Structure 1
Amino acid sequence: MTYNGVLTTFPKEIRVFIVSFVIILSVGFFTGLLFIRETESTTPAGIEENYMGNEDDETAEVMKFKKGDREMLTIVHTHILSMSMIFFLLGGLVWMTDCSKKWKLFLTIEPFLSVILTFGGIYLMWKGISWFKYIVIFSGILMTLTFTGSATMVLWQCLRLARK
């Protein structure tokens, strides 16, 4: 089965549909990053404070409490399920682009590893393994880069003129 580059051969209407999907998916993904910035979870200390609380810090401007068991399980569960679907759908589109198999393999497999490391890392940090906050930052950055690369590749190839 030949699938390499098939995205550029789709009819214009289907490519417009895919472009619309990837744009809306990207708006949702990057809105999540704005939320992370808003909760000041962009640093190792901020991540730890967001999940472990800061009720012992008398100088804190905003009081945060340690997340409960149900809240943590809900956060981890919903994010792993939704992010795996996001990367599955986007990855399917990546495999239809005109690009090397090695690059496609990286862009489609790495996000699943990052999802587990990011949200599993948040859970393990919450359970008391505080150094996982560094894994969470690294895997979160890598997840964002692979999402951006995949979305850009799909958009660029959908907007190219169809191959003859």
Structure 2
Amino acid sequence: MRYNGLLGTLPKEIRAFIACFVVVLSIGFFTGLFFVSETGSTDPVGMEENYLGNEADEEAEVMKFKKSQREMLTIVHTHILSMSLIFFLLGALVWITKASKTLKLFLTIEPFFSVIMTFGGIYLLRSGILWMKYVVMFSGMLMTATFAVSALLVLSQTLNSPKTFEQA
């Protein structure tokens, strides 16, 4: 099946639809990251406080309590399900762009590992495995980078004029 570059050959109305989807998806994704930065969870100490609490720190500006098992399962469950759908849909669009198979493979497979490492790591961090905060930070950055590159790849090829369909 010939699919490399298919996106650029689609009618402009379908490409506009795809571009709107990717823009709105990106707004949602990056709003989530903004929320994470607002909770103070972007550094190792803040991440620990967010999931393990800081009630022992008398000088804390905002009192945070350890997340319950139920809260953690809800966070992990909803994020893994929603992020897997986000990366599946975006990955399907990446596969019909004109790019190397190696790049497409990385952009479409890696996020699934990062989702498991990020949210599984958060769960393990809450369970007391403190070094997981570094795994969570690295996998979260990698997941964000692959999302951004994938979204930009799809957007750039939906906004360009149609090209002739070629097999890569």
TM-score normalised by L of structure 1: 0.99
Look up the match of 1:77: 77
Q: How many residues align?
A: 164
Look up the match of 1:3: 3
Q: Which runs of 5+ in 2 are unaligned?
A: none
Moved over 3 A (4+): none
Look up the match of 2:124: 124
Q: Which has the higher contact order (CA 8 A, sep 6+)?
A: 2
Q: What is the rounded CA distance, in whole Å, between the counterparts of 1:125 and 1:38 in structure 2?
A: 20
Look up the match of 2:60: 60
Q: What is the rounded CA distance, in whole Å, between the counterparts of 1:152 and 1:47 in structure 2?
A: 29
| 1:121 positional shift | 0.2
Look up the match of 2:106: 106
Give the superposed CA RMSD: 0.4
Q: Which runs of 5+ in 1 are unaligned?
A: none
Look up the match of 1:20: 20
Pairing of 1:140-159 with structure 2 (within 5 A): 140-159=140-159
TM-score normalised by L of structure 2: 0.97
**One-letter code aligned to 1:32:** G
**One-letter code aligned to 1:42:** T
| 1:163 positional shift | 1.1
| 1:20 positional shift | 0.3
Q: What is the rounded CA distance, in whole Å, between the counterparts of 1:163 and 1:57 in structure 2?
A: 60
Q: What is the rounded CA distance, in whole Å, between the counterparts of 1:60 and 1:117 in structure 2?
A: 29
